[in-house]
Structure 1
Amino acid sequence: MAPEQKEEKNKPKSFEALTPELSSWILDFTSSSGFTRTTPVQAMAIPLLMGNKDLVVEAVTGSGKTLSFLIPMVERILKAEEPNKKGYVRGIVVAPTKELASQIWEVCRGLVGFHAPSRGYLKKAEGRGEEEDSDVEMEEKEEEEVLPGPYAIPQLLVGGRTKLPEDLATFSRLNPNILIGTPKRMVEVLSSSKVQVKRHWFDLLVLDEADRLLDPNFQPDLQRILELVPKERRTGLFSASVSEAVDELVRVGMRYPFKISAKVRSKSGALDKRTPESLRLYHLVTKPTFKLPMLKRILEEKQAEKSIVYVSTRAGVDYWNHVLPSLLGVSVFPVHGDHKHAIREKNLQRFRDSITPAILLTTDVLARGIDIPDIDLVIQLDPPSQPKDFIHRCGRSGRAGKRGTAITFLHEGSEEDYIKYLSMQGTHLEAYPSPPAITESEASQTTEQIRRTLQSKRELHDRSQKAFVSWVQAYNKTIPADIFSVRKLAWSELGRSWGLLIWPKMPELKRHCTEAVADRAWNLDLPPDFHLNDIPYLDKIREEKRLSDNAARARGEKVPLPAKTAGRLAEARKRKEKAWSQQKGAKEVREARRERKEVRRTAERRGKMSEKELGEARELEELIKKVREKNRAEREEGEWEGFDD
C-alpha cells in the first residue's frame, strides 16, 4: 500500500520508531496479536494522533485502522499529568453497530491488559479476584496488587446488552476514561449528570466507519454527540470509503484535518484499488434458480470451513435460515438487526467456535469492521442497496494479508451492467473461473427440496411470503435503479428459486406481472394434486384459528383482519383520500430534489475520473439510454399490458 500524503520525509516504519518512549506493554500486545510491524495506515495515523492533528483516514479493510486510533488514545491518557479524575472522560469511540463497538472494546481491553496498573485496576473494579484471562500468562497465580496509576479504563456502551441505569452504575463504579459504543446509547450516557466531558480533560473523538454514521438513521444522535463533546478536541474519522457525507462532516466538525488515503496497487500498477491485493473479487451471472445449486457446488469445491452469506433483508435471513442447512449440508448461524443483542452475540460466537463447515447468514449489519478470523469465502446472494457497502462486505475476507475470496451473484440480463458500474467506482470484478455447470434438472430438484421444507409446517410458508415481498421491496431501492429495476425481473424464475407455494399479494405483481395476480400458482410448476390448505400450522392455537376462519368463510361470514393489517389498510386509505393535487405537488418536489442531488453527485464523481474512466462512463450511459429507448418502444407497441386485472 502507498499512502497519498506524507507528513515528513522519513516516515516511521515500526512502533519503536514512531514513538521511542512507547511503553514495552504496547510492543508486547502488538507482537502477541501478530503485528510484527506497523502497517502504512498505523505508521502515519499514530504520530498524527499523538500530536494535535484532526485526521481523516481512508484505508482498505483489514489494514489495522482500529489499532491506529486505540494505541495513541491509550498512550496519551497514560502520559497525562492527571490521567484519572472521577466522572471525567478522556476519549470516545463511536461505531455504527453493536458488534463493531464490542469488537473495538475487546481490542482495547486486550491492549490495556498488557499494562499492569490498568489490568489490576480493572480486576479490582470488576470484582474478578484472581486472574482468569488465558491470554495473559502470569508466573504466579496470586491476586494481583493494584499498582499506582495512571490507568486506561474502557467501558462498552451498547443498547440491548445492558439497560441504561446499569451502564450509569458501571460508570460510577468503574470510573472509565474511554467510552466505546453505538450512537444512541452514547448520547444517553453523555447526557447524564454523572458523566463529565470537559475541554480541559477531553482528548480524542473517534468515529469508526464514519460514512455509515452519517446515514439518516444515525445523524440526529451523531449531531447530539458533537454538541456534547468540547469543540477544543481532536477528531479522527476512519473508514474504508470516505463519501460526500464524511466530507460534509469534515467541514462542520473538524479544523484543517490531515487526510490519509492508503490504497493498494493492482497488478497493472494502478494505485486506486479499493480492496486488499490478497482478496480476489469474482462475479457469477446466472439464472435465479441456479444460484443455490451453484453455491452448494462452490462450497464443496473450495472446501470452505467458514463463509459469510449476505442477503438483502432481515426477513430473508429468517427464511433462508430454515432452508439452507438441509440444502447446503452445513451449519447456518443467522444474525440481523432485529435479533436481541444476546442472540447476536451467541450466534457470532458459535460461528467463530464452529469446528465444522459453517455459514454466517446476515445482512449489512455485519458488513463493516467486523473481524472474524479465517473467513474463507464471502458470498453476496443479493447485492447491497448502496454500492459503497460492496467493498465493506467483501472485506470480511482477505484481512491482514491473508488470502480471501468474495463472489457476487447477479441475475442474467440488466444486472450484468453492475460489473461495469463497479469498475467505474474503482472496484474491479473478475469472472469466476470454471463456474459449476448446473442443469435444469438440478435446479428443479433444489426447488422441490425447498418446497418440501416449506410443507413441513405452514409457519415456513408464511416466512417465504414475507421474505419474498421484502426482497422485492429492497430490490426496488437498490442503487443504481437503472440496473436493478423491478420491471425487468424474471418473475417465473424468481418464484421457483424461492420455492414459493403461492404468489403473495403485493402491488409490484399488479404492476409488472398481472398473470400472477389472476392465477396465484402461475408458472410455479406445482404438482396438480398440491393444495395449500392441506399444510397445517405446528402451533395448535394458530391452526385452530385458521380452521375456524376457513369454516366462517365457507358459511359466507366476514372474517376480521389482523390488527396490523387493518392498520396498514387504514393508512393506505388516508393517503388515497388526500387531494390529488397535493400528492402530485409533493411528488414533483421530491423528484426535482432527487434530480438536483444526482446532477451534483455526477459532477463530483466525474471531476475525480481519468480520461479512460470518463470514456467508460459515457459508454455505460449510452447502454442505459438504449435500454430505456427499447423499453419505451415496447410500451408504445402495446406489449406491456399495464394495470388490467
Structure 2
Amino acid sequence: MAQEQSAQAEKPKQPKSFEALTPALAEWILDYASSMGFARTTPVQAMAIPLLMGNKDLVVEAVTGSGKTLSFLIPIVTRMLSAEEPNKKGYVRSIVVAPTKELATQIYDVLRGLLAFHPPSAAVLNPRQPDADDEDVMEVQPAEALSGPAIIPQLLIGGRAKLNEDIATFSHLGPNILIGTPKRLSEVLQSSKVVLKRHWFDLLILDEADRLLDPNFEPDLRLILDLVPKERRTGLFSASVSEAVDELVRVGMRYPFKISAKVRSKTGALDKRTPESLKLCYLTVKPTQKLPMLKQVLHARQTEKSIVYVSTRAGVDYWKDILPSLLGVSVFPVHGDYKAPVRAKNLRRFVECDTPAILLTTDVLARGIDIPDIDLVVQLDPPSQPKDFIHRCGRSGRAGKRGMAITFLNEGSEEDYVKYLDMQGTKLEAYPNPPAVSDEDAAQTIRMVRTTLVQKREIHDRSQKAFVSWVQAYTKTLPADIFNIKKVDWVELGKAWGLLRWPKMPELKRLFPQQLTDRVYGLDMSSDFDLDGLAYADKVREGKRQEYLEACARGERPAMSSKGGAAADAKRRKERAWSSQKDAKAVREGRRERKEVRRTAERVGLMSAEERVEAGELEELIGRVREQTEKAEAGEMEDGFEGFDD
C-alpha cells in the first residue's frame, strides 16, 4: 500500500542522502536550486530526493511550480555519478518520459543547467555558436573520450530529427540518460544499439504521469514499461494524480511511497491544489463581451506576458490573425499541428519579446512548461477535462511568484462551473472590480474583427473552420450538463466570432434551423455585402474559385476538388476512357465468376452422394423459378406465375 505524507506535515529537512555523497556535489546542487528561484530546496525536493536516493518507488503529487523537475533530476545525477562505471557506451541508466515536446525539451534544458555546476559534465557539453536562425544546441563528446564520470543526456522528440538520425546520434554519443516523448522513446528503445540491463538501469521517471496514460500515449508507454528492466526505481510526478496513475502504480511499481505536497488556503484548509501565490478568478460575460473585456483587463493590469488558452488548433489559427490588431499586442501561436522547430521558435520569440505579448495556445502547453514571468493566464475556452484546469492556471504564480489566472464563462449554465470546481477543491473568486463593457464596445469589437476578415478570404475560411471545431470541442467538454450545446445563444456566438455567414454543420442544422433558409440570420450583416466578392490573396487559389463560380453561372456541374481522398478517386475513375472502364469491368466480372466456380467445386466436393442429389434438385427448382419470372416480366404469361404443382 502506498504511504502518504504531506509537505505541510513536518518541517522540511535537508536531503542527507545527496549531501553525504560529497560536500562539493551537494553544494552545486543546492546552488542550482537557488538559481532556479527556490530557497535552496523546496518541501517537495526535501522529501522526494531522499526517497529516490534510498531506492524507493515514488508517486509525487504537488502543486504547479513547486520544483518537481529538480526533485527527480537531482537523484538521477547523484546516483549516476556515484556508480562505478557510469559512462559505459550504449548502456542507458535512466529515462525521463514527458507527454509533450516542449516539456521534454524543458527538462533537458534544466538538466543541462544543472550539469553546468559539475565540472566533468560541463567539460563534456561543449556549446557551439548557433547560426542566426539556428536553435541553441549543445554538442556532446562520445563516451569513450571521457576521463571521469559524467552525465551524457540525449533528447528524443519527434520532428527534431528523423528516427535513424536519433539512433545514429545515440551510437555516437553513448548517452546514459534519455529524455523524450513516448513515441520517439519507444522507437529508439527497440533499437539493438540500446542496452537496457538489469544491473545497469536505475531510474524511470514519468513526468505528468496522468497525462501519459491518455489513449494517445498508452500503447507507447506500455511498450516502454515492457522494455525497461523490472528491477528498477520508478517515479511518477504530476500536479494531479488520477485513477489512471493509481492503475499504473499497481502495474509498474512495488510498494510506492506517495508524497502529496499541498498548501493551506486562507481558511486553513490543506487541500488547496494551486500555490498560494496564484490567484484564481472568473468573469461571467456574454460571448460578444469576452474580447472587449479581455482588452480592458490587459490594459488595466498592464500585463507584459500572458498566455491565452483556446480549445482547438483551428481556433489558434484563426485568433492569431484577429487578436494583434484588436488587443494591440504581439501574438505568438503554438499548437500541436505546428512542426517542432516552429513551436520552439514561436515559444522562444515569446519569451524574448520585450513588448507586451500573448502566447496563444491549446492544452499542448498546459502542463509542466515553465515560462518565466507570466503575469496572467486567460482561459477564453474552458478545458475539456476538469483536471487540466489546474495545469493551465499553473503556468503563472510559479516558484513563489505572484500570478493570476482568469477564466471566462458564458452567462447561463456555465456559471455552475465555479461551484463544480469548488466541490473538486479548487476555489475561484469573482474578478475584483471588473471593467464595464457596453453594447457599443461589443459592437465596435465585432466591426474590428470583421474588418480583418474581409481583408482576404483565407481568414474567412479559418473563421468557418474554427467555429465548427469549437462547437465540436464544446460538445465534448465536461461536465456535459454545465457545457450543454443545446443551451448556447447561437446569435451571440456568431457575432462574437465575427462570422460573415453561418457554416454548414449538423449541429446548426439540428439546433439552429433558422440559418438553413438565411445563411446570415442574426449576424447583422450589411445588405450590400457580397461574400462572393471576397477574394483569396493566393492568386492560384482565387483563379480556381473564379472558375468554379463561372461554371456554376453557366449551369454546369463544377469539377470535383483536386485534393486527395474519395473525391479524387471518384474523379480519376470518371475521367478514365469508356473503353478502359468497360475492359476493367469485364476483368472484375470474370474474376468473380472464377471465384464462384472454385467455391462451388469445393462445396460439392465435401458433400455426400445424397446431398449432391438434393443440391441438384434445388438447382433445378431455382432454374424453373428464374425461367417463370423472366417470362412473366416479358409478358408471355397472362395470368402471372402461380407457383409449382404438388
Please report the TM-score for the alignment, with normalisation by the length of structure 1. Answer: 0.83
Quick one: which amino acid aligns to residue 388 of structure 2?
D
Q: How does 1:110-121 map to 2 (within 5 A)?
A: 110-121=113-124
Equivalent residue, structure 2, for 1:387: 386
- CA apart distance, 1:560: 3.2
| 1:49 has 2:48 as partner | no
Equivalent residue, structure 2, for 1:19: 19
- CA apart distance, 1:8: 14
Distance 1:197 1:542, change over 3 A: same
| 1:282 has 2:281 as partner | yes
SS at match of 1:537: coil
- Quick one: distance in 2 between partners of 1:9 and 1:409? 36
- Quick one: distance in 1 between partners of 2:54 and 2:282? 44
Equivalent residue, structure 2, for 1:293: 292
SS at match of 1:186: helix
Quick one: which amino acid aligns to residue 484 of structure 2?
S
State which drifts further: 62-71 or 158-167.
158-167
Distance 1:6 1:359, change over 3 A: closer
- Quick one: distance in 1 between partners of 2:276 and 2:386? 20
Equivalent residue, structure 2, for 1:425: 424
Q: Is the 8 A contact 1:61 1:369 kept in 2?
A: yes
Q: Is the 8 A contact 1:49 1:55 kept in 2?
A: yes
- Quick one: distance in 1 between partners of 2:391 and 2:200? 35
Distance 1:555 1:10, change over 3 A: closer
Equivalent residue, structure 2, for 1:541: 540
Equivalent residue, structure 1, for 2:304: 305
SS at match of 1:205: strand
Equivalent residue, structure 2, for 1:486: 485
- Provide Cα deviations, 1:396-436, integer angstroms capped at 9, x if missing partner: 00000000000000000010111111111111100111111
Find the partner of 2:33 among 30, 33, 36: 30
Q: How does 1:266-345 map to 2 (within 5 A)?
A: 266-345=265-344
- Quick one: distance in 1 between partners of 2:556 and 2:120? 75
Q: Is the 8 A contact 2:155 2:178 kept in 1?
A: yes
Find the partner of 1:76 among 76, 79, 82: 79
SS at match of 2:399: helix
- CA apart distance, 1:566: 6.8
- Quick one: distance in 2 between partners of 1:244 and 1:259? 14
- CA apart distance, 1:512: 0.2
- Provide Cα deviations, 1:314-358, integer angstroms capped at 9, x if missing partner: 000000000000000000000000001010000000000010000
- Quick one: distance in 2 between partners of 1:203 and 1:335? 35
SS at match of 1:399: coil
Distance 1:540 1:10, change over 3 A: closer
Q: How does 1:116-515 map to 2 (within 5 A)?
A: 116-123=119-126, 148-515=147-514
Distance 1:254 1:564, change over 3 A: farther
SS at match of 1:401: coil
- Quick one: distance in 2 between partners of 1:556 and 1:281? 59
Identity of aligned residues (%): 71
Q: Is the 8 A contact 1:214 1:246 kept in 2?
A: yes
- Quick one: distance in 1 between partners of 2:553 and 2:75? 73
- Provide Cα deviations, 1:498-528, integer angstroms capped at 9, x if missing partner: 0000000000001100001221000000111
Q: Is the 8 A contact 2:17 2:50 kept in 1?
A: no
State which drifts further: 152-161 or 557-566.
557-566
Distance 1:90 1:299, change over 3 A: same
- CA apart distance, 1:257: 0.5
Equivalent residue, structure 1, for 2:637: none
Equivalent residue, structure 1, for 2:64: 61
Distance 1:118 1:528, change over 3 A: same
Q: Is the 8 A contact 1:264 1:275 kept in 2?
A: yes
Quick one: which amino acid aligns to residue 62 of structure 1?
G
Quick one: which amino acid aligns to residue 148 of structure 2?
G
- Quick one: distance in 2 between partners of 1:178 and 1:17? 21
- Quick one: distance in 1 between partners of 2:281 and 2:564? 42
Equivalent residue, structure 2, for 1:88: 91
- CA apart distance, 1:385: 0.4
Q: Aligned pairs, how many?
A: 552
- CA apart distance, 1:485: 1.1
Quick one: which amino acid aligns to residue 207 of structure 1?
L
SS at match of 1:93: strand
Q: Is the 8 A contact 1:335 1:363 kept in 2?
A: yes
- CA apart distance, 1:166: 1.5
SS at match of 2:535: coil
Structure 2 gaps of 5+ residues are 131-135, 137-144, 571-646
- Quick one: distance in 2 between partners of 1:128 and 1:363? 33
Distance 1:293 1:387, change over 3 A: same
Distance 1:384 1:567, change over 3 A: farther
Quote the RMSD (CA, aligned, Å).
2.2
Quick one: which amino acid aligns to residue 454 of structure 1?
L
- CA apart distance, 1:569: 12
Quick one: which amino acid aligns to residue 52 of structure 2?
L
Quick one: which amino acid aligns to residue 30 of structure 2?
L
SS at match of 2:87: coil
- Provide Cα deviations, 1:185-242, integer angstroms capped at 9, x if missing partner: 0011101011101111000000000000000000000000000000001100000000
- Provide Cα deviations, 1:450-497, integer angstroms capped at 9, x if missing partner: 001000000100000000000000000001111111111100000000
Distance 1:570 1:267, change over 3 A: farther
SS at match of 2:552: helix
Q: Is the 8 A contact 1:116 1:147 kept in 2?
A: no
Quick one: which amino acid aligns to residue 283 of structure 2?
L
- CA apart distance, 1:545: 0.7
Quick one: which amino acid aligns to residue 386 of structure 2?
P
Distance 1:561 1:440, change over 3 A: farther
Equivalent residue, structure 1, for 2:526: 527
- Quick one: distance in 1 between partners of 2:538 and 2:413? 43
Q: Is the 8 A contact 1:379 1:407 kept in 2?
A: yes
SS at match of 1:5: strand
- CA apart distance, 1:28: 3.1
SS at match of 2:433: coil
- Quick one: distance in 2 between partners of 1:127 and 1:349? 18
Equivalent residue, structure 1, for 2:561: 562
SS at match of 1:510: helix
Distance 1:228 1:4, change over 3 A: closer
Structure 1 gaps of 5+ residues are 130-134, 136-145, 572-645
- CA apart distance, 1:40: 1.0
Shift >4 Å, 4+ stretches: 6-12, 15-18, 126-129, 563-566, 568-571
Equivalent residue, structure 2, for 1:592: none
- CA apart distance, 1:175: 1.2
